[in-house]
Structure 1
């Protein structure tokens, strides 16, 4: 099951800035498996992988203390992950052509969320090791593209 957190210390350049962090299991649900394979379609940065904003993004909604994060990806990119597109009938709130691949929710402090970086860091791995310091490079997903 995907786990959603907001935590500081994820970005070594800004260790005090909280980051919305999603942890996915590559052997988990179809959505988790698809998100785990997005790293193969990213470009490399300094210790991270970036998914192009035209390929996919993370949509955040805060309702009181309930944070919902939707990972959405365009069908052409999702198809390259080997995912069965028919398994993802949901659509993006920002772009109806993009598919809702994974939704995660958590309770959070609205003040902590207000200070969070705009990108969402996605870590992939075994559930018991997801946030280990040596776990590897996260995939960074930006917010929805603006029209």
Structure 2
């Protein structure tokens, strides 16, 4: 199950800034595997991989103190990573032509979340690996997902 965090200490350029971070298991359920593979489709730059919002994004919804993040991608991007778009029948409410790959939610501090950037940093990690362990590793290059195209 994807794990969601909002915390500081992730962005090396601004360590005090809170970041929405998602941990996905590259050997986990189909949605997590697809999101992990999107990292190979992203564009490398500045210590991260960036997925163009024309290919996929992360949608945030805050309800009280509970944050839900949903990752969506267009069928074309899914085919590029070898994923079958038909395996993801749920559609994005922001862009109905895109498939929802996964949802993760967590209790968060709304004030901390309000200071976070609109992007989501996605890290791959097995179920037994904590976010701090991932960040301490040398391969801690996240996939950065922008908000939906209508919000960018």
Structures share fold, TM-score greater than 0.5: yes
Q: In the alignment, what sits opposite 1:46? A: 46
Q: In the alignment, what sits opposite 2:56? A: 56
Count of matched residue positions in the alignment of Structure 1 and Structure 2: 147
How big is the alpha-carbon RMSD for the aligned residues of Structure 1 and Structure 2? Answer: 1.2
**Please, which of 105, 127, 144 is the counterpart of residue 148 of structure 2?**
144
Unmatched runs of 5 consecutive residues or more in structure 1: none
- What per-residue deviation string (whole Å, max 9, x for no partner) do you get for residues 78-122 of structure 1? 112222222211111111001101110111111111011111000
* TM value normalised by structure 1: 0.95
Quote the offset at 1:146 in angstroms. Answer: 2.4
Matches within 5 A, 1:87-106: 87-106=87-106
2:132 aligned with 1:128:
no
Quote the offset at 1:130 in angstroms. Answer: 4.9
- What per-residue deviation string (whole Å, max 9, x for no partner) do you get for residues 3-60 of structure 1? 0000101101110110000000001000000000001111011100000011110000
Unmatched runs of 5 consecutive residues or more in structure 2: none
Question: 1:74 & 1:12 partners in 2: Cα distance?
Answer: 30
Contact 1:53 1:144 in 2 (8 A): yes
Question: 1:103 & 1:78 partners in 2: Cα distance?
Answer: 17
Quote the offset at 1:136 in angstroms. Answer: 2.4
What secondary structure does 2:128 align onto?
helix
